[in-house]
Amino acid sequence: MAHKTGGVGELEETLKWGQPSYLTKKSKTGSTIRIGREKKTEGDYAIYFKCQTSLVATFKELYKNKFRYEGNRAILFDVNDKIPVRELRHCIEMALTYHLNKKNRNKKRNSKRQIASGAGPAPSSKA
């Protein structure tokens, strides 16, 4: 999936807290994704995201009833769940491009501020 997601590049697989973790080390476009067994409930596993990001809040907004969530850090699954693949793929793509999209959002926000303050690009002199 990473190779099909623009700007992501190669993923690095590593272990964090004994769980397989994936990060966009070279491109630095994304936020780390971890996969592991959920310790609180037998038979559950989770995809973990950095809790300092807005990723899980965004997933909840988009896919409120498609997944179970743990706070602002994980999507939970039971081993017997039918996984909504399309929606999960979208969530993973958002995580892998989190910093890239954050930069683009900040550029747009700054551009709007410049225009609002009159410091934006000069008007075109073309007639």
Cβ neighbours of residue 110 under 8 Å, at least 6 residues apart?
none
Q: What is the DSSP letter of 91?
A: H
Q: How confident is the model at residue 6 (pLDDT cuts 50, 70, 90)?
A: low
pLDDT one-digit tens code per residue, 16-27: 889 999 888 765
pLDDT of 73 > 60? The answer is yes
Kindly state the helix (H) or strand (E) to which residue 35 belongs, with its residue range. Answer: strand 33-37
Q: What is the DSSP letter of 14?
A: E
Q: How far apart are CA 110 and CA 106, in angstroms?
A: 6
Q: What fold is seen in the domain 2-98? A: Aspartate Aminotransferase, domain 1 (3.90.1150)
Residue 121: CA atoms inside 13 Å, Cβ hemisphere, count?
5
| Range 68-86 average pLDDT | 94
pLDDT of residue 29: 77
Neighbouring CB atoms inside 10 A of 93's CB total 18
pLDDT of 106 > 70? The answer is no
Q: What does the domain layout of the chain look like in residue ranges?
A: 2-98
pLDDT of residue 39: 79
Residues in the chain: 127
pTM of the model: 0.71
